[in-house]
Chain A
C-alpha cells in the first residue's frame, strides 16, 4: 500500500530541470539562513538584534556575547542540524521502503531512544552527555533493528509501519511507567520527550556533528543504489544492485542520523515524515529531484527550515519565559500534523485493494470451544481481579459484601475495586468492538480508534474539560470525550471519505490527527499544571484509578447498545468488510451503513476513554486475534473479539494494580506492555505463512 510518486506527465528538458533544481535549492538556503538569523535574536535574555550584531562584530560586552556564543548560536545550530538530519533520514527511509509513512517516528527509533533514556534515568544512573547519547543511540538502533527484523526487509510496507507503531506504543508505555514510578529520578524526561533544541553550549552539537556527517556521506554514496530500489526489488536486482544490503545500510545510516537528532534535542516529531513529503511534489516538476543524490540534501534543507521555522514561530508568538516551557517538538508536531492532514487529503491514493486475509475457515465447534474457554478465563479473571489486589481477599469476603454484611475494610476495598474491574471490563470490550467495526468498515488492517486519532481526540476533549472544569462529573467528562472524538472522527473520516476511504489516506489523516491531539494535550499539561505531570500521565496512561460506579454507567449503556446493533447487523458487516463491489452488486447502500458503524465505534471509543483513559492496542489486537481464532464471519468475530478485549484490559488492570503494589501502573500502559509482544508475535507468525 505504498503511495508512490507518479511519473511526471510532461518531461521537462534536462537543462531546465537543472536550473530549476538550483533555483529551488538556492531559495531554500535563503529561507533557512533568514530563519537562522531571526532565531539568534530570540531568547529569554535581553539580547535582541542590535546586541547580536554587536556580538558578531566583536563589539558587545562579555555578557551579551557569551549569550550569543554559548546559548543562541548552539540552539540555532542544533535546530539546523536536527532538522536537516531528520529530513535526510526520513527521505532515505521512505526511499528504501517505498513507503511515505516510513520515518524515524514510525520506525520506533525515537521511542527506543526515549525508553533507553527513561530506563537509565529510573535506575538512578546519571550519565554524562556522551554516554547518555550512547544509551539513546543503542535504544534507537535496537528498536529499529527489532522493527526491521520482525517486519522483514522488503517484505511489505504495511508490516513495517504496523511493527513500528506497535513497538512505539509498547516502548512509550514502558517509559511512561518509569515516569510514574520514578517521578523524581525521571523529572524533566516528559518535557524532554516533546523535543527542545535548546543547548548547553556547543559540546553536544560538536559531538553529534561527525555522526551526522558520516550518515550524510554514507547516504550520498549509497544514493545510486537507493534510486535503483525505486524500480522495485526485482528490477533493482536485475541491474545488479544488492537489494538487501543496500536497504540494510540505508536503514542503519538513517537510524544513526535520527538517534543523533534525538540525543541532541529529544524527539522532534514529524520532521522526518514531512520534509521528504514536501520535496516529493517538487520531484514531479523538477526531474533532478527524482534522484536521491539531489533530493536527500533538499529534504535536509526542508527539515532544517521546518525546525527553525517552528522555533522562531514559538518564540515569536508566546512570551519568552513561557516559550522556555513549551518544547519546539510540540510545535513541529502540530505543524506536521496539520501538514500531514492537508497532504493526505490531496495525495493520489494509488494503493490497490487490500489483500484478503488468508485465514482458514474455522468450524462451528472451534468457535464454540474458543468462546467457552474465553468465557471461563474471563470469569476466572474477574474473580481474581476482585479478590487480588493490594490487599488480598477471600470469596467469603465477597459474599459478605454482596449481602451488605462485610466489615469496614472489606466493604471499602470492594467498593473501590469492583468499579475498577467493571470499568476495565467494559472499556476493553468497547474498544475491541470499536476496533472490529472500524476494521470491517475501512477494510484496513491498521485501522483502530487509536491509530485513527479518535482515541486521542477523545482524550483531548476530556483533558480540556478536566482542566477547565475541575469538578466535572462522569457524564460531563464522557460528553467532553465524545465531543473530542466526534470532531476528530469527522475530520478523519470526512477527509478520507473523498474517493471512498482510500486506505493510505485514512491512516495518514488519522496519524496526523492523533499526533496533533497528543501535541495539544502535552501543551495543555505543560501550560496549566507544569508540576503535576503525574496526574496527567495517570489519565493519559489509561488508568482505572479512582473510578466509581457512576463513571462506568455511560460506557456500559453504549456498550450494550453497540453489541446489539453489531450483532443485529452482522451480515452487513461481513459484506462491508469483504470488498468494494460485492455490497454494491447486492444493492446495499454502502456509505450509509459505513457511517452508522463509524458513529457507533466513535461513541464506543469516546466513552471508553472517559471511563478509563487512553488504552491503546486493544482495538487493534482483539479483532486480529479473533479473526485468527475463529475465521472472519462477524457473528463469530464480534463475541470473541469483545471477550478478548475485556480479558486483555481486565488482566492488564489487575497486573498494573498488583505487581508493584502499593504503587500502580495504568491499565493502558499494561495493555501496551502485554499487547506489544503478542502483536509482534502475530506479525512474525503471519510472515511464515505461505
Chain B
C-alpha cells in the first residue's frame, strides 16, 4: 500500500515538473463590440449577443441541432454525435461537429475550448450547468417541448434560433414549407378517404421479457401534426406535461378502437426499440387486436426524430401519407 502511494506521489511530481510553467492560451484582450442583439429565451431570460448574430453555435439537444442545420448553420459542437446520426437522418449533420459529451451532461471544458458565440441549451439540463455555461458564452435556454402547444413551441424555438443566427428569412421559408406540407398531407389523406381516420402513433421498447409501449398523445409534437393532418388521435391515456408521452403495455392497446390505424417508428440500430416486428409477432394479445388482424399497422421509416424540427416533421407527414394511402 505504502509503496503504491510513494509511486503515485513520485509520478505526480514528475507530471508536475513536465507540465511546469507555460500557458495554453495567451492573455485576454477586450472584445470589440459590433451591433449587439438582445433576445428573450424560453425561460424569459434576456440574452445579449454583443457581436450580432452568432456564427459558432453549440447545441446540447438534438431538436435544436436539427433546427440549426435546417437554418443553414453548421453547429460547432453537438451532444452525442453518434446518437444524432442514428436517430435524426431527416436533417443529417454535414459538417464535422465536435462531440461535446452526453445530452444530459455536456462537458463544460469541451464547450469552452470551442469558444462558441452562443450555446443552445434546454431546460432539461440542470440549472446549475446552464449557469456555468453562461460564463462561457451567451446561453439560449429553450423549452424543448410543451404539451399545451407542441407545434407552437417548436416554431417558437425555430424563430428564436433564426433570430440568434441571423437566418430569419430561412426560418420563414421552413415554416411556410411546413404549413404547405401539412396542407398537402391533409389533402392527400382526405383524397384517400382518411379524413378524420382514427390513428395512434407509438414507439416501444423491450427489456427482459416485457414490452413497454409509449403512446404519443395530442400533447406530443407528432400528435399535434396528426391533428393538423385531419387524423383523430385514438389514445385515451394521458401524456406528460412537456413531451405529451404516455405509458402503457400491450394490454393497454385493447383500448384502441377496432378501426384505428397504428403507426410506429423503430430504429434498425436498436432492436430493443422495436417490439412490433419482434416479440409482439408471437403475442396473442397483439395478434388478436382487430387493427393488427386488418393489417392496419404501419412502420414508418427509421431516422425520423419524433422530437425534431420542421424537416423531421415534413418527412413524417410524407411517410404517414404514404402509409395510409396504401
Contact = CB atoms under 8 A, between A and B. Distances in A.
* A71, A183, A374, A662: most-surrounded residue (chain B CB, <10 A): A662
Interface string B257-300: 00000000000011111000001101111011110000000000
Contacts of B288: 62-63, 66
Interface stretch (A393-401, A492-500, A558-566): A393-401
Contacts of B110: 390-391, 661-662
Contacts of B26: 407
A389 B109 contact: yes
Contacts of A373: 2, 5-6, 9
Contacts of B16: 380, 383-384, 395
A264 B210 CA distance: 9
Interface string B64-88: 0000000000000000000100110
Contacts, number: 275
A679 to B, nearest CB: 13
B169 interface: no
A546 B126 contact: yes
B153 to A, nearest CB: 16
Interface stretch (B170-178, B190-198, B201-209, B224-232): B201-209
B33 interface: no
Contacts of A200: 206, 209-211, 250, 279-280, 282-283
A191 B251 contact: no
The A contact surface, by secondary structure, is: helix
B251 A71 contact: yes
A63 B290 contact: yes
B1 A629 contact: yes
Interface in B13-50: 13, 15-16, 19-28
B316 interface: no
B243 interface: yes
B248 interface: yes
A589 interface: no
A407 B252 contact: no
A429 interface: no
A201 B283 contact: yes
B325 interface: no
A191 B86 contact: no
Interface in A38-54: 43-47
Interface string A379-392: 11101100101111
A534 B105 contact: yes
A70 B207 contact: no
Nearest to B98: A662
A184 interface: yes
B245 interface: yes
Contact of A201 (B13, B23, B25, B284): B284
B207 A263 contact: no
Interface in B237-253: 237-238, 240, 243, 245-252
A422 interface: no
B28 A407 contact: yes
B25 A67 contact: no
Interface residues on A, range: 35 or more
A390 B212 contact: no
A199 B107 contact: no
Contacts of A117: 208
Contacts of A407: 25-28
A411 B23 CA distance: 12
Given A44-B248, A377-B9, A126 B271 contact: yes
Nearest to A537: B104
Contacts of A227: none
A264 B209 CA distance: 6
Given A44-B248, A70-B283, A470 B15 contact: no
B180 to A, nearest CB: 31
Interface stretch (A159-167, A216-224, A413-421): A413-421
Nearest to B77: A662
Contacts of A400: 23, 27
Contact of A546 (B19, B20, B124, B128): B128
Contacts of A189: 207
A489 B96 CA distance: 52
A379 B288 CA distance: 68
Given A200-B279, A625-B1, A63 B254 contact: yes
* B2, B6, B115, B209: most-surrounded residue (chain A CB, <10 A): B209
Contacts of B99: 662
A183 B102 contact: yes
A73 to B, nearest CB: 11
Nearest to B204: A188
Interface string B89-110: 0000000000111111111111
B28 A548 contact: no
Contacts of B290: 63
Given A201-B282, A204-B209, A391-B113, A663 B269 contact: no
Interface in A633-649: none
A265 B209 CA distance: 7
Contact of A390 (B13, B113, B211): B113
Given A538-B105, A662-B107, A397 B252 contact: no
A66 B287 CA distance: 9
Interface of B: 1-2, 5-6, 8-9, 11-13, 15-16, 19-28, 83, 86-87, 99-110, 112-113, 115, 124, 126-129, 131-132, 135-136, 205-212, 237-238, 240, 243, 245-252, 254-255, 269-273, 279-280, 282-285, 287-290
Per CB-CB distance, the 10 closest pairs between chain A and chain B, nearest first, are A380-B12, A390-B109, A534-B104, A70-B284, A126-B271, A662-B101, A662-B107, A546-B128, A44-B252, A204-B209
Given A374-B5, A662-B99, 15 more contacts: A44-B255, A72-B251, A126-B272, A184-B87, A185-B270, A198-B210, A204-B209, A321-B246, A321-B252, A380-B13, A391-B112, A394-B22, A406-B25, A416-B109, A662-B101
